[in-house]
Structure 1
């Protein structure tokens, strides 16, 4: 099966799963925030993924090895399982919020959320272009170079920073202030992932300890 076909099938299945998580809890198809989010997510992820698959096939393959089974470290298995649950909840909770009217997010703020979704996804893809070894699971490959320039010169984990933007964007795009509480849970899981990941990188990736002294912030500039 060709790479482009694999990407297309995976994207269709993924969007279909998102639609179920959104519209079943919402109890209606008249949930415009859900449709807008699906459209933005589809465009912002499919185009760059197709480009990545064609231009950097090895980097694309690394991004496909994801999930609990792909992780070798016990902490990471727990974190990834929790992350999947949080992401699913970030679709279900806003849908329930819409159904029962728990919070009222203005349309313009939902549009801002869609912009953040696109920005977060775009940033994550740009990280892979800058660092072809940025895999979906925690690993260090033989001969893997240390990348310390570009986005990696700002924070040590720019892809996770993109995920922070994405999570905030999802909650706002889907019109739910309550879903922002899930961002806090997601951040705690991300922090646990980063701390454990850096232990391994310090031990196995040449120059990483010196890099942490040069780039002080792990996730968010000027904060942590």
Structure 2
């Protein structure tokens, strides 16, 4: 669930992730990425996995809640939702880590660390918004789920 206004954390994440994609495209076009290396292949798998997790949960939430901006209900079932409250960001973390692996560049790593930090801040902000909008349901869900990483964090 997004808060009423898109926060600075959301914009920061968007800009950093766009830069990460740009770095991978630039390095790929300049021939600085070895397409068959293990690191690149693992990175491609993580990007694909993260994109699938992100998109599938976008569709689950959109279908069940009637929209992401002002959902009509709190969605706690379907996909990873019983275990993690922000599965789209969970998928995005995999995507970002995959981009870093593909690029194997220190600037990409720095951008990814800041991007993931902004996702954690977004999770906290969106948790607060969900708790205000759906206090009883959110408290019950929060007791048996994790914020960003299932069973861990």
| Runs of at least 5 residues in structure 2 that lack an aligned partner in the other structure | none
| Residue of structure 2 in register with 1:81 after alignment | 11
Matched length = 147
Between 1 and 2, higher relative CO (CA 8 Å, sep ≥ 6) is seen in 2
State how 1:180-199 maps to structure 2 within 5 Å: 180-199=109-128
- TM-score relative to the length of structure 1: 0.56
Question: Is the radius of gyration larger for structure 1 or structure 2?
Answer: 1
| Runs of at least 5 residues in structure 1 that lack an aligned partner in the other structure | 1-69
- TM-score relative to the length of structure 2: 0.78
Q: Distance in 2 between matches of 1:87 and 1:179?
A: 9
Q: Tell me the CA shift for residue 175 of structure 1.
A: 4.1
Q: Distance in 1 between matches of 2:147 and 2:91?
A: 13
SS at match of 1:154: coil
Q: Tell me the CA shift for residue 125 of structure 1.
A: 2.0
Q: Tell me the CA shift for residue 71 of structure 1.
A: 5.9
8 Å contact 2:50–2:94 — kept in the other structure? yes
Q: Tell me the CA shift for residue 177 of structure 1.
A: 4.7
Is the aligned partner of 1:201 residue 2:130? yes
State how 1:47-86 maps to structure 2 within 5 Å: 72-73=4-5, 76-86=6-16
Q: CA RMSD in A?
A: 3.0
Q: Distance in 2 between matches of 1:199 and 1:178?
A: 32
